Structure formats: structure tokens, C-alpha cells
Amino acid sequence: MARSTAKGVITLALLTLNVLLCFVPIIMLGLLKLALPVQGWRDLASRWLMRLGERWISTNQAILSVTQAIRWDIRGADSLRRNEWYLVISNHQSWVDILVLQAVFNRRIPFLKFFIKQQLIWVPFLGLAWWALDMPFMKRYSREFLAKHPEMRGRDLETTRRSCEKFRRVPTSIINFVEGNRFTAEKQSQRKSPYRHLLPPRPGGVAFVLGAMGGMLHALLDVTIVYDGGTPSLWDLCCGRVSRVVVHVSERKIARWIAEGDYSDDEAYRDRFNQWLGSVWAEKDERIRAIRGEPDLSPRTPDSAVS
């Protein structure tokens, strides 16, 4: 136990130090990028910042390879390309998922980006770092606001779409955790999930990303993460309690109807989109069962799985 704790302290300290060492140059270069509003310079600074991000992830990988004995079982990632535009969706169980996804995709596809709420750009230091790393900021209006101001319907999507225009010039990867929350048995029960290993998908976020990216995304990477021995915390990872990680990557084409629909106002499109995403999630649930070697029980219908 003492040895495991010591390993955890050392690993966490090294990961934290790496964040600090990478954060400083990202902030400094981000300030220079902000101070010189010349498009050519900003494009060049963005490329340098992505390299800093990739170096940060590579150093994290090196730290884990030295301090841990994780067996990586990565399936379906051999044909990925760095010059593509991807939407990455994944099941979500732990903050460890982010480290796993970064490790699997680093330098295989463009640097992973998350959609971030627009108001978070004002978070001290982090907001600037997210902006410098070209994280897309999204503007969303609540249902209550739209009920009072129906003339604003669709404006949030249009504003976000304009902010994403810069991604036409450079290959981009956007990641979305479709379940909306980390999986737990309690949440599974609360949301009455028909899946054995997943929460029901929340299609609104995926549809918003596809709408905002305006057909820029060429392919969808459907990622399934499975840990041996249960879901680990970050502390479990640092202490060496993660023995094996299976990551299955399935590349799917994004059909034109998926990219060009209006999820908010087109009921027929919304129903079709929900059915499509439900089928993707049913396949993922079955894949997790097979990877874990669990018995094949009678299939559950995913019709009510989208919430």
C-alpha cells in the first residue's frame, strides 16, 4: 500500500509539473497571438501552439510509460490521418478517459478540441489558454430564453458556426462525450438506461457540433474505452491500479443528411437522428459486452434510449 501511494504521489507530481511547464509557453504564445491580429501570424502561432499541446501529451505518455505497467490494446487506429477533419465520440466513465484518448490519438489525428461554453473564455488564464489552442467556443440559449425571445432561435448556432469558420483552413478534431455525464450505476438507474454499460446518449450536443461545423467534418470516430478491473479514478491510474486498457476505434462516414439537418426545428430529422445515434450506442454497448467477455443476453431495444 505504501509503495502504491508513493508511486501515485510521484506520478501525479510529474503530471502536474508537466502541465505547469507547458502552460507557461502556451499562455505567452497565446498573448503574442492576441497582440498581433494578423491572420498569417495567427495561423502560424496556432500551428506552434498545437505542437506545444502535442508535446505536452507526449510527455504525459512518457511519464506513464515509466511509472506504470499498462497494457494497451488499441484496435482500429492504424488508418487514421493527421490531415483529416474528425468528430470523435466516446463512452465516458472517468477523467482517465481524457488521458487515454489523448494518448491514443496524439499525432495520429489533429489535436483534440472540445466545444466550450462562450462565457468560460473569461476564466482567468485557462480561458486564454483554451482560446490560444483554438478550442471552439459555443453560444447556447436556454429554452426559457428562447421561449421569451423566439426571434433569437437559431442565432446561437449561427454565431458558433461563424466562430468555427477558421477550421476550414486547418484539419481539426472535435471530441464529444455523448452521454453528457460519466457513467455510474446510479445515473444508469436514474436515467432508466436500456443499455448494460452506457447512459442513454444525449443527441443535442452532437447535432449542435455537426450543425456548427457546417459540413467540415469528414468522418466520425466512434471510440469505445474498456478498463480491466472496473472504472479507475485518476488516483488509481497514478497508483498503478490500471493493468489493461482496451480502446476500440470505428471510423464511420458522416452522411450528408446527418451533417445538413436542423435538429432544433425539423421533427422528422430529429427522429431520424435520434434513431441513428441510438443504433450507434446499441452497437457500442454490445461491443463492451464482447470485450469484457460477458454472456450474450437477449438484446434490449434502444428506441427509448435517447434523452
221-235 pLDDT per residue, tens: 999 999 998 899 999
Q: Average pLDDT in the 96-101 region?
A: 95
Residue 28 falls inside a structural domain:
no
Residue 265 pLDDT: 81
In a domain, 25, yes or no: no
248, 270 contact by CB (below 8 A)? no
- Whether the per-residue pLDDT at 307 is higher than 60: the answer is no
* Strongest mean pLDDT among 114-123, 137-146, 253-262: 253-262
- Give CA angle at 19 (14, 23), nearest 5°: 150
**Is there a domain that residue 305 lies in?**
no
161 inside domain: yes
Q: What is the pLDDT of residues 205-216, one digit of tens each?
A: 888 888 888 788
**What are the tens digits of pLDDT across the range 151-188?**
666 666 677 777 788 888 888 999 999 998 899 999 99
Top mean-pLDDT range of 148-152, 254-258, 285-289 = 285-289
Predicted confidence (pLDDT) at residue 115 exceeds the cutoff of 90: no
Q: Assign residue 243 the CATH number of its domain.
A: 3.40.1130
**Beta-bridge partner residues of 223:** 90, 249
* Mean pLDDT, residues 106-129: 85
Per the structure, how many domains does the chain have?
1
Average pLDDT over residues 243-259: 94
Is residue 191, in this structure, part of any structural domain at all? yes
Overall average pLDDT of the 101-113 stretch: 94
Strands 112-114 and 173-177 turn out to be: parallel
Predicted pLDDT of residue 151? 66
Question: Cα–chain-centroid distance for residue 102?
Answer: 9
DSSP state of 134: T
Residue 205 lies in a domain: yes
Average pLDDT over residues 268-296: 94
148 vs 285, which has greater pLDDT?
285
Instruction: Say if 11 falls within a structural domain.
Output: no
C-alpha cell at position 252: 464511420
Average pLDDT in the chain: 88
| pLDDT for residue 306 | 56
Classify residue 106 by its DSSP letter: B
Q: State the DSSP H helix or E strand holding residue 285, giving kind and residue range, or none if neither.
A: helix 267-292
Of 243, 277, 285, give the one whose Cα is nearest residue 73: 243
Give whole-number Cα distances, 80 to 76, 83, 231, 253, in Å: 9, 9, 27, 13
Q: How far is CA 276 from CA 43, 178, 258, 283, in A?
A: 36, 13, 9, 11
Return d(Cα 118, Cα 178) in angstroms, integer: 20
Q: DSSP letters of 293-304? A: T---PPPPP-TT
Residue 251 pLDDT more than 60? yes
Q: Name the percent of the chain lying above pLDDT 90.
A: 58
Domain that includes residue 165, residue range: 70-292
Split at pLDDT 50, 70, 90, the class of 128 is: confident
Check residue 141 and give its pLDDT: 63
Give dist(CA 146, CA 154) in Å, integer: 9
Residue 240 lies in a domain: yes
Distance, in Å, from the CA atom of 9 to the CA atom of 282, rounded to the nearest integer, reads 39
Closest CA to 225 of 113, 81, 75: 75
